[in-house]
Amino acid sequence: GAVVSQHPSWVICKSGTSVKIECRSLDFQATTMFWYRQFPKQSLMLMATSNEGSKATYEQGVEKDKFLINHASLTLSTLTVTSAHPEDSSFYICSAQSGITDTQYFGPGTRLTVL
């Protein structure tokens, strides 16, 4: 149980385009989902927290207009990187948490490369 999927697993896009990443909890309802960014050989950096049906809460320094997060249902959250630039290239990972426990289950990650 507690499986979280992400799609796509990797994406290459041109500078200036927008990219949408989906995060789904497959076997449980996720009241809260989290989006992280990870640079090579570094720890996870929390970008934002989203609760189903509410606006996301962004961490300090994360541009909410650039990283649009939507948590429309208890099993789906999306992260849209708008007007992507090469510096946005990174490994993006989501995690999901049910309302019953504070355990976070992570997705497999999405490798974004912006040319």
Partner 1 sequence: QQQVKQSPQSLIVQKGGISIINCAYENTAFDYFPWYQQFPGKGPALLIAIRPDVSEKKEGRFTISFNKSAKQFSLHIMDSQPGDSATYFCAAHHPGANNLFFGTGTRLTVIP
Among 26, 111, 113, 115, which residue interacts with partner 1 (rule: CB under 8 A)?
111
Q: Which of 25, 23, 24 is nearest to 2 (CA)?
A: 25
Q: How far is the CB of 83 from partner 1 (least distance, A)?
A: 26
- Among residues 11, 20, 22, 44, which is the contact residue for partner 1, using CB under 8 A? 44
Q: Which of residues 46-105 bind partner 1 (CB under 8 A)?
A: 46, 49, 91, 93, 95, 97, 102-105
Cα–Cα distance between 51 and 91 in angstroms, integer? 22
Q: 109: which residues sit within 8 A by CB, 6+ positions away?
A: 6, 9, 38, 91, 92, 93
Distances (CA, A) of 38 to 8, 24, 27, 52, 53: 16, 19, 25, 24, 26
One residue of 55, 108, 113, 115 binding partner 1 per CB under 8 A: 108
Return residues touching partner 1 (CB under 8 A): 2, 4, 6, 32, 34, 41-44, 46, 49, 91, 93, 95, 97, 102-109, 111
